[in-house]
Structure 1
Amino acid sequence: MLRRIVFGLGLMSATVLSHPASAEAQRSLQVVISKATQSMKIYDGETVVATSRVSTGKSGHTTPSGIFSILEKRKYHESNIYSNAPMPFMQRLTWSGIALHEGHVPDYPASHGCVRLPRGFAKTLFGMTEPGLHVVISDEPVEPVRIEHVNLFAPLKPMPSEPLLSDIDLRPTVKRKTPEPYEVAMNSAETAPDMTVTASISPVERAPLKILVHRRGERETVHDVQVLLNYLGFDAGPADGLAGSKTRDAIAGFKRWKGLPADGARISETFLETLYRTTGKDLPPAGQLLVRENFKPLFEAPVGIREPGKPLGTHFFIATGVDPMQEKAVWHAMTLPNVLTSAERGRLGIAPEASESSASEALDRLDIPSEVKERIATLMSNGTSLTITDQGLGPETGKGTDFVTLTRSKPQVATAQAVSDKPSKPRRPSLRSYRNGVGLY
């Protein structure tokens, strides 16, 4: 009896309105946490399916804001930093230690960086989620709104898994001189009364794609330099986006060949223009699109950004109701406040006073190649997401993660103190760990 009473008290601070019955339905869920109201809402599209109070990080141990996904789930876990503190129904958001878990939930921030959930609801949420589910943490409340736009991907019908046969009788095309009878292959009315054969085009079940669009930065530039220098015969090493000794020597060799100054910036605008012109290539556009699936890099490609001196903002989109046979999907969007410092604006080429774009305006400004759209359209499934941001791969994005986008609503924020159970994992893993033959990250 006492156990039932305690369980009931835990549910008093939470409301579960419905429960997805399948993994396919779970993919459409979004967990949205507001640090200002110390609350959590779980959405299916625009519909709230569950709510709860939470307790986020206290002063000096602030819970980071941004776009995360569940990386790992454990019914029982203990912190190896804070005296083996119990963390039941732990759902990890970063490898540096931020997680959702059961704990004491007062009416104010009290954790060391994690998001505490009331007893009872933590177990319920644990049963509603699966790895890869998105969790959005914001300072002020945000909620998904439905959006339609030509740059939001729509699924394509899968190609037939077997060739279609013609319904036209086959006839010889060469005149025969002999009057003797001969045989030709023809459709059989007995096996195909309507004179047609239909191939199977059932869609293949895939994990949701995680797509990130950001401004090209040093990683992409170095990668292109390595590819082009290797093409010209210089040994720049593997195209991993890291300027190692081979890459530096190859850059110096190219500068000597073209009579470029050896001092100053290693990769200057003059160097890039000369390198691209020498290889007969055009300078790449301002943006980069990256795709992951099951926490692994899948592919990436350059994309154009119109009005590059204006910030894109930080926007999150998720697709539900993905129907390849009807070639339809329903998209919802959330915009998160994200203040860029003056130094960041200068590094990204953004005007100091330029205002951020809305979600629809950010989509308007993207020029995504048609072949990239088509490839994504043939692979997307329910729960496919798109993040647009000015910043590139953050320190929490690494091996075994989706894209983790950190945001801030104020110029200065406290650094989150992680509650990590895997201290051997570096906070900023080497980019070398993510090379897979199709991308650099």
Structure 2
Amino acid sequence: MRFTLRLVLAALAVSPPAFAAGTKTPLQIVVSIEQQSLVVYDGDAVIATSKISTGKPGHRTPTGIFSILEKRRHHESNIYSDAPMPFMQRLTWSGIALHGSNHVPDYPASHGCVRLPGKFAAALYKMTAHGMHVLISERQVTPVEVSSAMLFQPHQSRPQGPALTDVPLRPAIGDDSTVEVAMTERRPPPPTAADEEKAPLRILVTRRGMRETLRDLQTLLATLGHDAGLPDGFSGPATIAAIRAFQTKEGLPADGKITPELIEAVFRKAGRGSPPNGVLRVRREFQPLFEAGVTIAAPETALGTHFLQFQDIDAETGTGKWFGVTLQNELPKAAKQRLGITAEAEPLAFDALERTLGRITVPDDVRERIAGLLANGSSLSITDADTGLETGEGTDFVTITRTPRG
């Protein structure tokens, strides 16, 4: 099977078309470790292919969802004796990249990077741009067009009403900038004409952690008249004092403890219903933009790991197409216990992605805000576990996957 597919890829291999360089057509790259192949896609259409060489045993190339963070025509490794890495396109700040090489055998031989034949590396360099997505998978995956009511479209109604109240928070590790938290009881301001010209969005949906829940708790306590200090997701004396004040006023034992019952009580008192169990985060041009709570149905079942890209906007209807793939990702047992997952996802099922999309509910005002900012080439990543240490300052959402062995 592997030999047959490699012959097919070899037959499909073409020089990048003339329109690729400098075009605004959103492309994406899919790397298969099993097939030692790289395929460039425009939606579900193959644009170019090449053989590659990924990481050898002990230096395995990570799998997951990446994007091009940096490009250099002439680069030397600062890890491996200044080894030349022409037409380098960086995928992580920890040292993984696409680059040209004079030694690209049909088996894994690198120190973790993805080696490309020299001529193809130069051609690919002209086709790509900062932020272009690169998916690395153990098996070969192919983008397919996906339809779902959950997926965003730019023609959705624009928001009206009072401006959003933004709450500052500390974003991903290594990033000290300020982002916004979308509070679902208020609507954001209408987008301006300049929004149409802005860069594509990077959207992540994942399970909500305790920090996000605590930050909302602090915000809601403040709206109820109990100052919990800065809503930063960290419990300190001011937060504990605010909890005790709330408990006293509501006739509850004033122990200052943060429990699921307390969180439910604060949300209910503030008219917010139950706390969301998922979070939607948005970045643009490698910077955090805003985030909001979402609801994940059947939370005991894994979401799986999925990636979708938006493109081909129709000028008459104002709608575009979403092309998606599902990646295998085996969560550690400890992570499943922490997240309350007792049932596995089925990444090989033909409708795995559509099933997951059908379980996610995004508040209307958040949908409207995204609709006003959605641009050609925007993407949506879905995963059970958060993005980890590779996501930080100067990155998109990076998702590292674990491939089942055997």
CA distance, structure 2, for counterparts of residue 226 and residue 303 of structure 1: 18
| Pair 405,253 (structure 1): closer, same or farther in 2 beyond 3 Å | same
Provide the secondary structure at the position in 2 that maps to 1:25.
Answer: coil
Note if 1:204 corresponds to 2:196: yes
> Contact (CA 8 Å) 2:310, 2:322: kept in 1 or not?
yes
**Aligned position for 1:313:** 304
CA distance, structure 1, for counterparts of residue 317 and residue 21 of structure 2: 21
**Structure 1 residue 14, shift from structure 2 partner:** 5.8
TM-score, L = length of structure 1: 0.74
1:39-92 deviation line (CA, Å, top 9, x unaligned)? 100011111111111111111111110011001111111222211222111111
User: Distance in 1 between the 2:56 and 2:107 partners?
Assistant: 8
Distance 2:392 2:204 in 1: 14
C-alpha deviation, 1:321, in angstroms: 0.7
When residues 117 and 254 of structure 1 are mapped into structure 2, their CA distance, relative to the original with a 3 A threshold, is: farther
Distance 1:354 1:212, change over 3 A: closer
* Deviation readout 1:290-345 (Å, 9 max, x if unpaired): 11111111221111111111111111111111246521101111010111222211
Partner letter of residue 105 of structure 1?
V
Question: What is the CA–CA distance in structure 2 between the aligned matches of 1:158 and 1:150, rounded to whole Å?
Answer: 14
Q: Distance in 1 between matches of 2:88 and 2:343?
A: 41
Q: Corresponding residue for 1:39?
A: 37
Q: Over aligned residue pairs, what C-alpha RMSD do you find? A: 2.9
Change (3 A) 1:316 1:353: closer
Q: Could you tell me whether the CA contact under 8 Å between 1:158 and 1:203 is conserved in 2?
A: no
Q: Give secondary structure in 1 for the equivalent of 2:396.
A: coil
Percent identical: 50
- Residue 110 of structure 1 aligns to a residue whose secondary structure is coil
Whether the 8 Å contact between 1:303 and 1:369 is mirrored in structure 2 is yes
Q: Secondary structure at the match of 1:345?
A: helix
Contact (CA 8 Å) 2:263, 2:275: kept in 1 or not?
no
What residue number does 2:181 align with? none
TM-score by length of 2: 0.79
Shift of 1:15: 3.3
CA distance in 2: counterparts of 1:106 and 1:236, whole angstroms: 60
What stretches of structure 2 of length at least 5 have no aligned partner? Answer: 1-9, 159-192
Contact 1:13–1:52, Cα closer than 8 Å, also in 2: no
Instruction: Number of aligned residue pairs: give it.
Output: 357
93-102 or 220-229: bigger deviation: 220-229
Give the 5 Å matches for 1:397-436: 397-410=391-404
Does structure 1 residue 339 correspond to structure 2 residue 330? Answer: yes
Measured in 2, the distance between the counterparts of 1:227 and 1:203 equals 29
Structure 1 position 256, deviation (Å)? 7.6
| Higher Cα Rg, which structure | 1
Q: 1:354 to 1:87 in 2, by over 3 A?
A: closer
Q: 1:223 corresponds to which letter in structure 2?
A: R
- Retained in 2: the 8 A contact 1:31–1:40? yes
TM-aligned CA deviation for residue 23 of structure 1 = 4.1
Aligned residue in 2 for 1:91 = 89
How has the CA–CA distance of structure 1 residues 400 and 354 changed in structure 2, closer, same or farther, with 3 Å as cutoff? closer
Aligned partners of 1:324 and 1:397: how far apart in 2?
34
Distance 1:250 1:225, change over 3 A: farther
